[in-house]
Homo-oligomer: A and B are copies of this chain.
Amino acid sequence: MAFQQTETGGETLIEGVMGTIRQRIAGRSLTPGVKLPSIRALATTMRVSKSTVVEAYERLAAEGTIRSRPGSGFFVSAHLAPLSLTEVGPRLDRAVDPLWVSRQALETDVNVLKPGCGWLPASWMPEAALRRALRSIARAETASLTEYGTPLGLRPLRQLLARRLAEHGVEASPDQIILTESGTQAIDLLCRFLLEPGDTVIVDDPCYFNFQALLRAHRVNVVSVPYTPVGPDLDRFAEVLEAHRPRLYITNSAVHNPTGATLSPVVAHRLLRLAEQVGLTIVEDDIFADFEHAPAPRLAAFDGLDRVVQIGSFSKTLSASVRCGYIAAPRAWIEGLTDLKIATTFGGPSLAAELVLTLLRDGSYRKHMEALRLRLTRTMTETATRLAAVGITPWIEPQAGMFLWCRLPEGLDASELAQKALAHDIVLAPGNAFSHSGTAAGFLRFNVAQSTDERLYRVLATITR
């Protein structure tokens, strides 16, 4: 099928017409079953030839987005999904779209370097310990091999988690803890429980990019507050509370993603007082807890699980494949959250919970984390040095964790660099994927554990010239 090669801004005219129709469908200005503009009318509106529109309509029909009724015209397919996350909200440059960055990181093959991804390489993970745990569960007398498990989840694991939370000053009984299949699923469940479409939610600027994709799926209004080296900018936070009456603030504690910053006790305390004045709920994502050398303040500890809910998982420290996360919530919410968990997923991590419990109990996890923290500290120092050699410098020196949030040399744009890097089989994480306000065009997030290959620095040297 021939098509016009006339390029406009890197996209063919036909793709432009297709994109326009898709956006109208996603935005519901064209709804399922409704007739599309006639070929003549759209050609006039978009100032393209009729044959361009014909070609675009035929391709949309071939993929099922629209249907042709001979003699009647083209109609929006009635079974079309209205929820297209890449088209809800302002159209983002793919390079900084959180979903596109995630896809790049998740889909690439082994020859591609991924300093932009958010997880440790397989070789850094406790594979031997996982194998041992699998064998031990294979031998054990346990119903967890086949059964659904109780609604809250494997009790011994919840008891152990309650003790670990207590070590961070967070008081929760095991019955205030619900096991979920991941940290992301934990936050998603809370969003479903707490939010209505149109509610306002605060995120940090910059923040973990998947928070933005998740909140898009919940159709809420997102407002961001700049993150300083000691926590959110409290003056701006207070302004946002006043102006927007937000429902929720989602942040991560311990080691901030992507900046590596650490919340200070003073900021934690003042933040909670602001939250209390307006009845703001805070979701504290604690998945990086075990990367810390020295424990930072936890909002849930100061607050006592009253307006702060905590979530965690073992994806970053143990395995992204052993699907086990948790919510530690106010007592009054447990019934409702459990009902919602049953309704939307029925079961929960049963085998995975046994695996995590085994590794926590047999000491492997502790040993693994001790070695991991040392390795990360070393690697972070090395990486900072190597990046400095190509003019890339960290915003702060994080106390712990895997991320370096780095400034590029003056005048360079991170998205452009990311595009160039892709051509060299390197996936970078450009700053604006993390920044809701789009003010991080000069930043890149480096995962130091994925930044050890010499090739990365050769390519960086090349593309930053």
A-to-B contact residues, CB < 8 Å: 32-33, 63-65, 77-86, 98-99, 102-103, 106-107, 119, 122, 125, 127, 130-132, 134-135, 137-139, 143-151, 181-182, 184-185, 188, 192-194, 196-197, 210, 213-214, 216-217, 247, 278-281, 306-307, 315, 319-323, 330-333, 335-340, 342-347, 349-352
Contacts and interface: CB of A to CB of B under 8 A. Distances in A.
A194 B82 contact: yes
A321 B182 contact: no
Q: Which of A98, A197, A344 has the most CB of B within 10 A?
A: A344
Contact of A345 (B119, B184, B278, B307): B184
Given A182-B346, A213-B342, A340-B217, A81 B279 contact: no
Nearest to A80: B332
B131 A143 contact: no
Given A103-B151, A139-B131, A331-B64, A323 B181 contact: yes
Give the most central of A182, A315, A319, A320: most B CB within 10 Å. Answer: A320
A282 B341 CA distance: 24
B331 A148 contact: no
Contacts of A150: 106-107
Contacts of A135: 134-135, 138
Contacts of A143: 122
A80 B145 CA distance: 36
Kindly name the residue among A81, A84, A323 whose own CB sees the greatest number of chain B CB atoms within 10 A: A81
The CB with the most chain B CB atoms within 10 A, among A77, A103, A145, A340, is that of A145
Nearest to A148: B320
Given A131-B139, A343-B99, A349 B323 contact: yes
A181 B125 contact: no
A119 B148 contact: yes
A280 B331 CA distance: 42
A321 B351 contact: yes
A149 B321 contact: yes
Given A64-B331, A343-B99, A147 B134 contact: no
Contacts of A278: 78
A216 B192 CA distance: 12
